[in-house]
Amino acid sequence: MGIAPCDGIVSPAYFVYDFNISNRSFGQALLRSKPYVSHFAQASDGVRIGQWDLTIAFMRQIPVLVPHEEEQAAIVRFLTWANNRLERAIKAKQKQITLLDEQKQAIIHRAVTRGLDPSVPLKPSGIPWLGEIPAHWMVRRLRQIVFVKPSKSESIERLRQDDFVTFLPMERVKTNSTIDSSVQVTASSVWNGFTYFRRGDVIVAKITPCFENGKGAYLDKLPTEIGFGSTEFHVLRPGPLILGEYLRLVTASKLFLDNGTHSMTGSAGQQRVPTDFVKNYSIALPEVEEQHSILDSVGCQVSEIDTLIVRLEREIELLREYRTRLVSNVVTGKLDVREVAAKLPEEEIEEAVEAHEDMESADEEIAV
């Protein structure tokens, strides 16, 4: 839901209404607040949540409680100021996460291209973007050491249609450390139209922006031997020359993500990393024993960074939850901010308005 800032046209999937309210910014905040979103849900019908249709007759019955114009202006003034402060706090934490991610990527990059010994003799890899690698390492394409996109036909004889399997849609996978594999469904419900994998496989998101964000996991702890997930996953099964956890480290590295991003095909917003890129991607490969040592070292260094990132992400989540509650309480009159709004310094309000306009301008550029 949004109040149009200008004249235009919109998809037929939207309803268009006149909205008679003196303060457009207040109306936007009011109708997008949590209580009113609940009203819109109640005014909708359908079979599946997320695919409901808003019913015009029911929508017309939603009560809208509107204060006087002076109080609307005071509410907008306060929320503009408060949102600016909260947004600055959120952005500061997001910047910290970005820096921690860069530190983490530097550790992983060093480990999967040079190993742990800084004094080890090096040799040219023969691959421009890979550079020099330890002299005792091999260069191998992934298709030489992993099996890409295993077929579900291998399990057809030992899996009954009423057996339960793990189900992993894209939203249940963030990174290797945050994967929710608790959902189980019957094999018959996902046998067609979903991606097949087994315990011990590695999955990698192939669609933008999930790929660039490193979505994927080493599936060593699946509650069931067999699983199905989003069709937007590549599935890689490690062979005897590479450990599954090490393979996941390689596919989470900046080298892999950057090269994969440049190889994407498809229309803007729906680009995907092709299977051929994954099969032909070349890596520097140590012996399995050294892979174990690298994983132990990287795990120790990265675990502390991951803990900090998770904590910062939770703090951002709490700030957003607080903002949602604050907006709801203010626009519905549970919290009277007229006196506070009147005392806010004018320069802070101007700064908040400028910051809001900058964000709107950036959003418009992205939309274009």
Q: Are residues 226 and 292 in the same domain?
A: no
Indicate if 179 and 236 belong to the same structural domain: yes
Whole-number Cα distances in Å, 195 to 235, 266, 279 = 8, 20, 17
- Kindly indicate the confidence band of residue 174, based on its pLDDT and cuts at 50, 70 and 90: confident
Per-residue pLDDT of 256-269, as tens digits, reads 999 999 999 987 77
Picking from 25, 45, 66, the residue at the C-terminal end of a domain is 66
Beta strands 226-229; 195-198: pairing state: antiparallel
Domains in the chain: how many in total?
3
Domain termination site, one of 249, 264, 285: 285
The full length of the chain comes to: 368
Residues 217 and 263 reside in one and the same domain? yes
Evaluate whether residue 217 is within a structural domain. yes
What does the DSSP 8-state code read for residue 209? T
* Same-domain status, 179 and 99: no
Q: Are residues 164 and 275 in the same domain?
A: yes
Residue pLDDT, tens place only, 66-116 = 899 999 999 999 999 999 999 999 999 999 999 999 999 999 999 999 999
Whether residue 366 has pLDDT greater than 50 = no
Residue 127 belongs to some domain of the structure: no
- Kindly state whether residue 152 falls inside one of the protein's structural domains: yes
> Which of 288, 152, 260, 286 shows the shortest CA–CA distance to 204?
260
Distance (Å, rounded) from C-alpha 217 to C-alpha 204?
7
Residue type, 364: E
User: For residue 49, what pLDDT band results from cuts at 50, 70 and 90?
Assistant: low
Q: Which domain holds residue 189?
A: 138-285
Cβ atoms of 273 and 263 within 8 Å: the answer is: yes
Judgement on whether residues 38 and 85 belong to the same structural domain of the protein: no
Whether 273 and 311 share a structural domain = no
Unique residue bearing structure tokens 């249940």: 172
Whether residue 209 has a cis bond before it, omega within 30° of 0: yes
Q: What value does the mean pLDDT of the chain take?
A: 89
pLDDT bin (cut points 50, 70, 90) of residue 175 is low
Mean pLDDT value of segment 145-150: 95
pTM for this predicted structure: 0.76
- Residue 45: pLDDT band by 50, 70, 90 thresholds? confident
Residues 238 and 308 in one domain: no
- With contact defined as beta carbons under 8 Å apart, do 137 and 115 qualify? yes
For residue 89, the surrounding DSSP H or E stretch is: helix 69-114
pLDDT at site 56: 82
Least confident of 13-22, 30-39, 117-126: 13-22
305 within domain boundaries: yes
| Packed helices 254-262 and 69-114: angle between N→C axes, nearest 10 degrees | 110
Domain final position from 285, 314, 332 = 285
Q: Which residue has better confidence, 252 or 177?
A: 252
Coil, strand or helix at 322: helix
Residue 48 has pLDDT above 70, yes or no: no
Residue 321 resides in a domain: yes
* pLDDT band for position 352 (cuts 50, 70, 90): low
In angstroms, the CA 215 to CA 347 distance is 42
Q: What is the CATH number of the domain that holds 350?
A: 1.10.287.1120
Q: What is the pLDDT of residue 44?
A: 83
